[in-house]
A and B are shown apart, each in its own frame.
Chain A
Amino acid sequence: MTTGFFTDTTLCIGCKACEVACKQWNQLPGDDYTFTGASYDNTKALGATTWRHVAFVEQFDRKTPQMGATAIGERMRANGNAETNGNHGAPPIDLMAIRNGARGADTSTAVAPRVVHEQSGGLLGDHRWLMMSDVCKHCQNAGCLEACPTGAIIRNEFGDVYVQPDICNGCGYCVIACPFGVINIHEEDGRAWKCTLCYDRQKVGMEPACAKACPTQSIQFGEIEELRDRARARVGQLHTRGITDAYLYGVDEHTSVGDLNAFFLLVDKPAVYNLPEQPRVPQAQVIPGYIATAVTAVALGVATAAAFLLRARVSDQNR
């Protein structure tokens, strides 16, 4: 049986209960009290002691038809994007204009026209606030697992990628082999750590701490095929309700990384959530690399041998 996470970002409310539950259950030390000043996200990224990370994306720059009077609105109309002039009933809170006015800038912040699908007239109007609880993806073709020179990183009986702390010697090669920047070396401990998908809890039939703590079922744990079906259905449901940006990241992938045991439902392009558009497993390069190096080795080896052979022959003739 393969287990995994389905993280539905449309349900995430950014409460960070998953971050806290993960830290508590896995007895991970707290992060520094850093203040990014950029958003509610002061965790910043996954790491050796942070195995769940809630990303906050504040899209208050989304352009709306109420911007008709601004240069951006003019540009949109010039582009002939009729949909942006659609009937959104949102009150014309022109944050952009206010901001631009305050800055004295005008068109420098212009963005490409886009269709605003979300309901208008709500609390946020045409602006939206995306949250995503990020986690180790437990890739089908895991870069860290392939890179590990000690065999410390294994695929366990639940089909998840697990670092055996009693084997790991902290070489750090997995850190740079991870295409998602998940695993990291703990500086004091010296070993590599990442999400275990609560291996210990799964062993006794419990669901992982983050999924258990999630109050909105944004994080769902279960058997991977069942989760995928549920997620695919959720995409259809969201599309019928007008969220036509919704798509699954990590299911039916055509990438070298393959499908992800922890996959996501997103409503904007992956880079918005700090995810790569087309992740590549680094080991796809290993055989070409070996071959290129071997060819060079033969060429330079022959050249070296030839240099000595020719010179030896010359000195024989001189004698």
Chain B
Amino acid sequence: METFDRPPNEVWLPPLRSPARPAERDEPSVTYYDQPMIKPPHWKWYIPAYFWLGGIAGGAATIGAAARLFGGPVAKRDTVRHARYLSLALAIICPIFLILDLGRPERFFRMFRVVKVSSPLSIGTWILSAFGLASGALAVRQAVEDSVVIPRESGLGRLLRRLIPDAPLSALQGILGLGLGGYTGVLIAVTAIPLWAAGGIFLGPLFLATALASGAAALTLLSVAFGKRDPESERARGTVETVEAISAATQLALVGARDLTTPSRINQPLRVGFWGRVFRIGAVGGGMATPLTLRIVARLLGPRATKVISVIAAVLTLLGALAERFTIVEAGKVSSRDPLAYQDLTAGAPGEARPTAREQALHAPQASAHRPRIAASDTAFDSIR
């Protein structure tokens, strides 16, 4: 097979071969003048920012629901309050980002025409909408409990507390929060972009773990900022930090599993180059491994050293989650421009995808001697006229 000469200034990746296709390693690669085979996403910064904020909202809501249903008295009070207000605030911002990213923002409601299981974007729209409604209702209830605007014991306050069921709605919000955190990963995995599609099975779980970690980090910061300083509050925060540590460990495991199962050429944008560096050093090193280490160190040092370390770890987790969202989206754009990565994703042995030329010739029917010069439908139209 032939190679096209690549102009040196247009080669953006070293021509590595994927180990996934040892049989074809000797064959020079063929591209069509290095033109991409697929289109890049047209997403602006809104989408990775939404992945980040939506993840925080979902994670915080899940932790809030767990605190409401299973937590001790302080967790029930403080963690739940922080989670509910935070979820509502983010549930208001997220749809705005999503709508602004549309080519026709005024038509956002067209998303509500269908429910489509094959489209994670459609499922996500419904999850986000339900999550927004649940968060709104629970935030209203929380405001009444806290006697914000509406006094707790006023007539309207009592009515609202009776109308908005606390525990069931919390459970629903928690489940929706998990969906909100995870569906975005499935959304990008179900595309033709090689970087996302290969090893895409890990992206939903990874995005979910990141969501929970960043939600926990946000709640930790809120607890440090607004929580009381008694041992019970410290203990409630400790629980949130435990959740964050578990999520960070899950993240690391999933990143590792994804790395190991993704062919090297496809995974290149996340290994080398600017976005590769940001991902490895910023998202994985700074945003997952370092906070996890800090949490373990803090646990070993005992309660005294925890607060400062806590804040540092939480900030790192949040920034790491932000870096992860942006690098994965941006590296996906890089990946979409690499025809060889897409060829790796869509590689197949001869005869695997369709009969080989020889097989097709063997089964070819006899060609008819005469073929009309004009298509039948066109002739029909002419006669109508």
Contacts and interface: CB of A to CB of B under 8 A. Distances in A.
Given A301-B62, A315-B72, A276 B343 contact: yes
Given A146-B119, A276-B343, A307 B3 contact: no
B203 A191 contact: no
Contacts of A85: none
A59 interface: yes
A114 B348 CA distance: 20
Contacts of A220: 375
A289 B186 contact: yes
A125 interface: no
B208 A177 contact: no
Interface in A13-59: 36, 38-39, 41, 44-45, 47, 55, 57, 59
B348 to A, nearest CB: 3
Interface in A261-297: 268-269, 271-280, 282-283, 285-286, 288-290, 292-297
Contacts of B114: 149-151
Contact of A150 (B110, B175, B179): B110
B370 to A, nearest CB: 12
Contacts, number: 352
B235 interface: yes
B204 interface: yes
Interface string A127-147: 000000000000000010011
Interface string A55-94: 1010101100000000000000000000000000000000
Interface in A170-218: 170-173, 175-187, 189-192, 202, 204-207, 211-212, 217
Contacts of B108: 169
B380 interface: yes
A199 B204 CA distance: 38
B39 A296 contact: no
Contacts of A112: 1, 26-28
B328 to A, nearest CB: 13
A245 B357 contact: yes
Given A151-B114, A212-B378, A311 B239 contact: yes
Contacts of A155: none
Nearest to B207: A293
A293 B364 contact: no
B12 interface: no
Most-contacted residue by chain B among A168, A181, A246, A294 (CB, 10 A):
A181
A233 B353 contact: no
Nearest to A147: B119
B-side interface mostly = helix
B356 A167 contact: no
A122 interface: no
B145 to A, nearest CB: 19
B38 interface: yes
Nearest to B72: A312
Nearest to A237: B367
B125 A303 contact: no
B285 interface: no
A271 B116 contact: no
A188 to B, nearest CB: 10
A309 to B, nearest CB: 5
B250 interface: yes
Given A150-B113, A292-B204, A304 B361 contact: no
B232 interface: yes
Interface stretch (B88-96, B158-166, B240-248, B297-305): B240-248
A41 to B, nearest CB: 8
Contacts of A273: 32
A282 to B, nearest CB: 5
Nearest to B121: A149
Interface residues of B, number: 116
Contact of B200 (A167, A185, A230, A289): A289
B45 interface: no
Given A185-B103, A248-B354, A289-B190, A233 B33 contact: no
Nearest to A236: B364
A274 B37 CA distance: 6
Nearest to A191: B103
B238 interface: yes
A245 to B, nearest CB: 6
A230 B116 CA distance: 37
Contact of A293 (B107, B186, B247, B355): B186
B243 A304 contact: yes
Nearest to B332: A176
Interface in B12-67: 26-33, 35-43, 62-63, 66-67
B186 A232 contact: no
A149 B113 CA distance: 8
A251 interface: yes
Nearest to A295: B205
B366 interface: yes
A227 to B, nearest CB: 10
Contacts of B201: 285, 288-289, 292
Contacts of A304: 62-63, 66, 212, 243, 246
Given A207-B375, A283-B119, A292-B205, 4 more contacts: A112-B28, A167-B110, A301-B66, A304-B66
Interface of A: 36, 38-39, 41, 44-45, 47, 55, 57, 59, 61-62, 109, 111-112, 114, 143, 146-152, 167-173, 175-187, 189-192, 202, 204-207, 211-212, 217, 220-222, 229-230, 232-237, 239, 244-255, 268-269, 271-280, 282-283, 285-286, 288-290, 292-297, 299-301, 303-305, 307-309, 311-312, 314-316
